[in-house]
């Protein structure tokens, strides 16, 4: 890919997707590590391998499939990213945000983004869901912002406001959907680090001090690009491992994938409940 993304590059990807599906998705859904099963429940669906879409970044990570699934879920037309690319895989931040740019040009109005995250809040347990009310873009503060580079004025403004990056109305719908099914949903702040190494106990104590409840290596670049482009965002973290603030336990990728099995049914219920409530 060239230094920065252009509208032409985005629209080439849009044209390829439109040539492979006649559906007009209005909701985008990104499924994180170990959380990809929801897409398998959609029948019938159109499938597009990421390799077929020009410039689309592919995930190299176990637990990420690497395709778009486009179909109907709860009577809404959805485009699901089954797997995503991360900064730590070697992609620049603007490439990590590329799929969202494509969603904007496809006319998608809502984005539900999920991730597996580590607990920073000591009250959180593996298997908990956290609705994201705000984020700390630690990577962005250090210069790794997906909007860096020439602004694409057709998509959004140069200096976008981020005071409501997570749409309050969608958050309310998610809380209602969770309550309806008796699912305890926490509400907190997600912090994005570059990874791929997990945090040291000192890192985690620092993250707690600056206001984080859960930590991960994704989501924030996608949310920034979506909000810049006027897409309303709901973010949900599946807590896959406990806070390691005192260094007494280790964190593994297998543990993250294993927690997905507990998380998927709850996530599924909330996502479906939100889709039913979106008018």
Which residues would be at the binding site for ligand HPA (CB under 6 A)?
Answer: 116-118, 198-199, 215-217, 240-241, 251, 256
Nearer to ligand HPA, 145 or 244 (CB): 244
Catalytic residue flag (residue 64): yes
Question: What are 19's two structure tokens?
Answer: 């040539």
- Sign of the Cα torsion 220, 7, 57, 71 reads positive
Catalytic residue flag (residue 103): no
Question: What are 76's two structure tokens?
Answer: 């809404």
Which residue has its beta carbon closest to ligand HPA? 118
Catalytic residue flag (residue 88): yes
Quote the least distance from Cβ 11 to ligand HPA, whole Å.
Answer: 33
- Catalytic pick from 13, 50, 86, 190? 86
Quote the least distance from Cβ 237 to ligand HPA, whole Å.
Answer: 9
**DSSP for 26-85, written as a single string:** -EEEEE-TT-GGGGGG--SEEEEEGGGSTT-----STT---EEEEEEETTEEEEEEES--
Catalytic residue flag (residue 89): yes
Catalytic residue flag (residue 116): yes
Catalytic residue flag (residue 22): no
Nearer to ligand HPA, 55 or 213 (CB): 213
Catalytic residue flag (residue 19): no
Per the CB < 8 A criterion, the answer to whether 139 and 218 are in contact is: no
Quote the least distance from Cβ 215 to ligand HPA, whole Å.
Answer: 5
Distance CA 73, CA 31 (A): 14
- Catalytic pick from 39, 241, 243, 259? 241
Nearer to ligand HPA, 25 or 118 (CB): 118
Quote the least distance from Cβ 81 to ligand HPA, whole Å.
Answer: 17
Nearer to ligand HPA, 199 or 222 (CB): 199
Name all contacts of 63-70 with Cβ < 8 Å and 24+ positions apart.
63/33, 63/34, 63/36, 63/253, 63/256, 63/257, 63/260, 64/33, 64/36, 65/36, 65/39, 68/17, 69/39, 69/42, 69/45, 70/21, 70/23, 70/25, 70/45, 70/46
- Please state the separation of Cα 182 from the chain's center in Å: 24
- Catalytic pick from 47, 72, 194, 253? 253
Nearer to ligand HPA, 21 or 241 (CB): 241
- Catalytic pick from 89, 119, 227, 244? 89
- Sign of the Cα torsion 234, 68, 97, 65 reads positive
Quote the least distance from Cβ 101 to ligand HPA, whole Å.
Answer: 24
- Catalytic pick from 115, 218, 237, 240? 218
Catalytic residue flag (residue 86): yes
Catalytic sites, residue numbers = 33, 64, 86, 88-89, 116, 217-218, 241, 253
């Amino acid at each position: 890919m060239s230094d920065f993304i252009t509208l032409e590059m985005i629209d080439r990807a849009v044209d390829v997707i439109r040539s492979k599906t006649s559906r007009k998705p209005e909701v985008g859904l990104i499924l994180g590590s170990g959380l990809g099963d929801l897409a398998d429940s959609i029948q019938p669906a159109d499938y597009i391998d990421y390799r077929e879409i020009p410039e689309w970044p592919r995930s190299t990570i176990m637990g990420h499939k690497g395709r778009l699934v486009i179909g109907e879920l709860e009577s809404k037309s959805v485009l699901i990213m089954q797997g995503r690319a991360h900064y730590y895989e070697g992609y620049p931040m603007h490439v990590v945000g590329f799929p969202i740019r494509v969603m904007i040009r496809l006319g998608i109005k809502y984005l539900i983004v999920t991730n597996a995250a580590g607990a920073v809040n000591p009250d959180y347990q593996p298997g908990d869901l956290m609705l994201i009310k705000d984020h700390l873009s630690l990577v962005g503060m250090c210069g790794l912002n997906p909007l860096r580079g020439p602004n694409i004025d057709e998509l959004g403004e140069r200096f976008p406001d981020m005071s409501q990056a997570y749409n309050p109305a969608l958050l309310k719908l998610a809380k209602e959907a969770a309550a309806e099914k008796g699912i305890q949903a926490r509400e907190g702040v997600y912090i994005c680090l570059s990874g791929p190494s997990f945090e040291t106990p000192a890192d985690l104590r620092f993250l707690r001090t600056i206001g984080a409840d859960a930590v991960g290596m994704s989501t924030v670049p996608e949310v920034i690009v979506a909000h810049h482009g006027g897409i309303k965002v709901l973010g949900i973290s599946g807590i896959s491992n406990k806070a390691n603030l005192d260094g007494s336990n280790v964190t593994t990728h297998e543990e993250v994938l294993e927690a997905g099995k507990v998380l998927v049914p709850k996530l599924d219920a909330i996502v479906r409940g939100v889709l039913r409530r979106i008018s």
